[in-house]
Amino acid sequence: MTSSAGVVDALGALAVPVALLIGIEPKTAWLLSVLWVLKVVPGIPGLRQLRRVLVLESGPLVSVLVIFLMVVFLASVAEYFLERDVQPQTFGSVPAALWWAVVTLTTTGYGDVVPVTPLGRMVAAMVMISGLGVFGLWTGILATGFAAETRRDNFLKTWESVSKVPFFAALGPAAIADVTHMLRTMELPARTMIIRKGAQGDCMYFIAAGEVEVDLPGKKVQLGEGAFFGEMALLGNNKRGANVSTTKVSRLLVLDLVDFRVLMARHPDLAETIDAEAKRRTLENK
Amino acid sequence: MTSSAGVVDALGALAVPVALLIGIEPKTAWLLSVLWVLKVVPGIPGLRQLRRVLVLESGPLVSVLVIFLMVVFLASVAEYFLERDVQPQTFGSVPAALWWAVVTLTTTGYGDVVPVTPLGRMVAAMVMISGLGVFGLWTGILATGFAAETRRDNFLKTWESVSKVPFFAALGPAAIADVTHMLRTMELPARTMIIRKGAQGDCMYFIAAGEVEVDLPGKKVQLGEGAFFGEMALLGNNKRGANVSTTKVSRLLVLDLVDFRVLMARHPDLAETIDAEAKRRTLENK
Amino acid sequence: MTSSAGVVDALGALAVPVALLIGIEPKTAWLLSVLWVLKVVPGIPGLRQLRRVLVLESGPLVSVLVIFLMVVFLASVAEYFLERDVQPQTFGSVPAALWWAVVTLTTTGYGDVVPVTPLGRMVAAMVMISGLGVFGLWTGILATGFAAETRRDNFLKTWESVSKVPFFAALGPAAIADVTHMLRTMELPARTMIIRKGAQGDCMYFIAAGEVEVDLPGKKVQLGEGAFFGEMALLGNNKRGANVSTTKVSRLLVLDLVDFRVLMARHPDLAETIDAEAKRRTLENK
Amino acid sequence: MTSSAGVVDALGALAVPVALLIGIEPKTAWLLSVLWVLKVVPGIPGLRQLRRVLVLESGPLVSVLVIFLMVVFLASVAEYFLERDVQPQTFGSVPAALWWAVVTLTTTGYGDVVPVTPLGRMVAAMVMISGLGVFGLWTGILATGFAAETRRDNFLKTWESVSKVPFFAALGPAAIADVTHMLRTMELPARTMIIRKGAQGDCMYFIAAGEVEVDLPGKKVQLGEGAFFGEMALLGNNKRGANVSTTKVSRLLVLDLVDFRVLMARHPDLAETIDAEAKRRTLENK
What ipTM describes this predicted complex?
0.79
CA distance C213 to C218: 13
A103-112, A233-242, C56-65, C181-190: least confidently modelled range: A233-242
The verdict on a CB contact (< 8 Å) between D111 and B107 is: no
Q: How many CB pairs under 8 A join A and C?
A: 11
Q: Provide the pLDDT confidence category of residue D81 given band limits of 50, 70 and 90.
A: confident
pLDDT digits (tens, 9 = 90+) for C58-107: 877 888 888 888 889 889 988 998 898 899 988 888 888 999 999 999 88
The pLDDT, as a whole number, for residue B286 is 63
Whether C215 has a pLDDT exceeding 80, the answer reads yes
- Predicted confidence at residue C9, as pLDDT, reads 74
Q: Helix or strand or coil: residue A206?
A: strand
Compute the distance between CA of residue A260 and CA of residue A205 in angstroms, rounded to an integer.
11
**Chains meeting C at 3+ CB pairs closer than 8 A?**
A, B, D
Question: Which residues of chain D does C49 touch, with a Cβ-Cβ cutoff of 8 Å?
Answer: 60, 63
pLDDT of residue A4: 65
Taking one residue from A and the other from B, the number of pairs with CB-CB distance under 8 angstroms is 127
- Partner residues linked to D200 by β-bridges: D239
Predicted pLDDT at B237: 62
Q: What is the pLDDT of residue A129?
A: 87
The pair phi, psi for residue A42, each rounded to 5°, is -60, -20
Interface contact A262, partner B, CB < 8 A: yes
pLDDT at C197 over 50: yes
Q: Which of residues 220-249 of B touch C (CB under 8 A)?
A: none
Are residues D50 and A140, on separate chains, in Cβ contact within 8 Å?
Answer: no
CB-CB contact of D188 with D246 (8 Å) = yes
Asked if D139 and C141 come within 8 Å (Cβ–Cβ), the reply is: no
Residue A56 with chain D: CB contacts under 8 Å:
184
- Measure the CA–CA gap between D163 and D167, rounded to whole angstroms: 9
Detail the DSSP E strand segments found in chain D: 183-188, 193-195, 203-209, 212-216, 219-223, 228-229, 243-246, 250-256
For chain C, the 3-state helix, strand and coil shares in percent, each to the nearest 5, are 65, 15, 20
Say whether B107 and D107 touch across the interface (CB within 8 A): yes
The mean pLDDT of B197-206, rounded to a whole number, is: 84
Cβ-based contacts of B131 with chain A (< 8 Å): 106, 108
| Phi then psi dihedrals of residue A229, to 5 deg | -155, 170
- Bridge partner residues of C215 (DSSP): C220, C243
Subunit contact A59:D45, Cβ cutoff 8 A: yes
Parallel, antiparallel, or unpaired for β A183-188 and C203-209?
unpaired
Q: Does D152 touch chain C (CB under 8 A)?
A: yes
Q: Are residues B64 and B47 in contact, defined by beta-carbon separation less than 8 angstroms?
A: no
Buried/exposed C73-106: b ≥16 CB within 10 Å, e otherwise: bbbbbbbbbbbbeebeebbeebebbbbbbbbbbb
Q: What is the pLDDT of residue C5?
A: 65
Decide if A213 contacts A254 (C-beta within 8 A): no
Mean pLDDT for all residues in chain C: 82
Task: Indicate whether C137 pLDDT > 90.
Answer: no
Q: Write the DSSP symbol of residue B204.
A: E
Chain B hits for C173, CB-CB cut-off 8 Å, are: 261, 264-265, 268
Neighbouring CB atoms inside 10 A of A173's CB total: 15
pLDDT of residue D45: 64
Helical spans, DSSP H, in D106-253? 118-164, 166-169, 173-182
Phi then psi dihedrals of residue A202, to 5 deg? -135, 20
Instruction: Out of C109, C140, C143, name the one closest to residue A109 (CB).
Output: C109
HSE-CB of C223 using CA atoms within 13 angstroms = 21
Residue pair B72/B105 in contact (Cβ under 8 Å)? The answer is yes
Look at residue B232 in the predicted model and tell me its pLDDT.
Answer: 81
Q: How far is the C-alpha of D118 from the C-alpha of D123, rounded, in Å?
A: 9
Q: Looking at residue B3, what is its pLDDT? A: 59
Domain boundaries, chain D: 2-41, 58-142, 165-284
CA B200, B203, B205 angle in degrees (round to 5)?
Answer: 125
Q: Kindly tell me the sign of the dihedral angle through the C-alpha atoms of A140, A143, A146, A147.
A: negative
Which residue in D129, D149, D181 has the most chain C C-beta atoms within 10 A of its own C-beta, making it the best mutation to test that interface? D129
Mean pLDDT of C181-200: 85
Calculate the alpha carbon distances from A11 to A2, A15, A31, D170 in Å: 14, 6, 13, 55
Give the residues across from A215 on adjacent strands: A220, A243
Question: Is A79 within 8 Å of A101 (Cβ atoms)?
Answer: yes
Q: List CB contacts (< 8 A) between A52 and chain B.
A: none
| Strand duo A250-256 + A203-209: pairing | antiparallel
User: Do the Cβ atoms of A139 and B135 come within 8 Å?
Assistant: yes
Distance from CA of B80 to the nearest CA of A (A): 9
Question: Which of A202-206, C145-149, D132-136 has the highest mean predicted lDDT (pLDDT)?
Answer: A202-206
Q: Is the pLDDT of residue D10 over 70?
A: yes
Q: For the domain B58-142, what is the CATH code?
A: 1.10.287.70
Residue, of B68 and A51, whose pLDDT is higher? B68
Query: Three-state SS for D219?
Result: strand
Residue, of C265 and C123, whose pLDDT is higher: C123
Within an 8 Å CB–CB cutoff, is residue B150 touching chain D? no
Map residue A200 onto helix, strand or coil: strand
What A41-45 contacts at long range (C-beta under 8 Å, 24+ apart), as own/partner pairs, is A41/A8, A41/B70, A42/A1, A42/A5, A44/B63, A44/B66, A44/B67, A45/B59, A45/B60, A45/B62, A45/B63
How far apart are alpha carbons B112 and B133 in whole angstroms? 24
Alpha carbon distance A151, D258 (integer Å): 9
Instruction: Tell me what the mean pLDDT of segment B223-230 comes to.
Output: 88
Amino acid identity, position A49: Q
Query: Are C143 and C105 contacting, i.e. CB atoms less than 8 angstroms apart?
Result: no
Bridge partners (DSSP) of residue B54 are: none
- Portion 59-118 of C in contact with D at CB < 8 A: 65, 68, 95, 99, 102-103, 106-112
Helix axes A118-164, C118-164, angle to 10 degrees: 80
pLDDT reading at D65 higher than 80: yes
* Strand residues in chain B grouped as ranges (E): 183-188, 193-195, 203-209, 212-216, 219-223, 228-229, 243-246, 250-256
Most confident of D10-14, D88-92, D237-241: D88-92
Asked whether the predicted pLDDT for residue B241 surpasses 70, the reply is yes
At B250-276, the pLDDT tens digits run: 988 888 877 887 787 777 778 888 888
Give CA–CA dist C97/C90, Å, rounded.
8
Could you tell me which of D218, C174, C102 has the C-alpha nearest to residue B264? C174
Backbone φ/ψ region at B101: left (φ over 0), alpha (ψ -120 to 50), beta = alpha
Query: In this complex, is the C-beta atom of C28 within 8 Å of any C-beta atom belonging to chain D?
Result: yes
Highest mean pLDDT among B215-224, C254-263, D153-162: B215-224
Whether residue A119 contacts residue A99, with contact meaning beta carbons closer than 8 Å, is answered with no
Residue A90's pLDDT is what? 86
C107 and A110: CB-CB below 8 Å? no
In 10 A of CB D195, how many CB atoms?
Answer: 22
B54 or A9, which is more confident: B54
Give the three-class secondary structure for B162.
helix
Buried b (16+ CB within 10 A) or exposed e, C18-47: ebeeeeeeeeebebbebbeebeeeeebebb
Question: Looking at residue B1, what is its pLDDT?
Answer: 43
Q: Across residues A180-208, what is the average pLDDT?
A: 86
Going from the C-alpha of B36 to that of each of B3, B15, B40, D20, D121, the distances in angstroms are: 16, 10, 8, 71, 26
Let me know: does D205 contact D256? Beta carbons within 8 Å.
no
The residue-averaged pLDDT of D244-263 equals: 86
B46 shares contact with chain C (CB less than 8 Å): yes
State whether CATH 1.10.3720.10 applies to domain B166-284: no
- At A1, the pLDDT band (50, 70, 90 cuts) reads very low
Mean pLDDT across the stretch D113-134?
89
Per-residue pLDDT reduced to its tens digit, C151-180: 777 777 787 778 777 777 777 766 777 788
Answer whether B143 sits within 8 Å of A147, measured CB to CB: yes
Between CA D142 and CA D60 the distance in angstroms is: 10
Per-residue pLDDT tens for A72-111? 988 998 899 889 889 998 888 888 899 999 999 988 889 8
Question: How many Å lie between the alpha carbon of C129 and the closest alpha carbon of chain A?
Answer: 14
Q: What is the DSSP letter of B193?
A: E
**CATH code assigned to A165-284:** 2.60.120.10
Quick check: D2 pLDDT over 60?
Answer: no
Taking an 8 Å cut-off on Cβ atoms, the answer to whether A112 and B107 are in contact is: no
B125-153 burial by CB neighbour count: b if 16+ within 10 A, else e?
Answer: bebbbbbbbbbbbbbbbbbbbbbbbbebb
How far out from the chain centre does Cα B81 lie? Answer: 45
Close Cβ partners of B50 (under 8 Å, ≥ 6 residues apart): C60, C63, C64, C67, C137
How far is the C-alpha of C222 from the C-alpha of B3, rounded, in Å?
77
Of the candidate CATH numbers 1.10.3720.10, 1.10.287.70, 1.10.10.10, 3.40.800.10, the domain formed by C60-135 belongs to 1.10.287.70
Q: Residue C1: pLDDT above 50?
A: no
Shortest distance, CA A258 to any CA of chain B (angstroms):
6
Of C203, C206, C204, C224, whose CA–CA distance to C162 is shortest? Answer: C206
Q: How far apart are CA B150 and CA D280, in angstroms?
A: 49
Closest-CA residue of chain B to C156: B258
Chains that touch A (3 or more CB pairs under 8 A): B, C, D
Q: Dihedral, CA atoms, A57, A63, A68, A71, nearest 10 degrees?
A: -160
Query: Where residue B127 falls among pLDDT bands split at 50, 70, 90?
Result: very high
Sign of CA dihedral D36, D38, D39, D43: positive
Q: Mean pLDDT, to the nearest integer, of C242-260?
A: 87
The secondary structure element, H or E, covering residue C209 is: strand C203-209
Phi, psi of B20 (to 5 degrees): -65, -45
Measured CA to CA, the distance from residue D95 to residue A121 in angstroms comes to 10
CB A49 to CB B60 under 8 A? yes
One-letter amino acid of C90: T
CA distance B44 to D2: 58
Q: Does D276 touch chain C (CB under 8 A)?
A: no
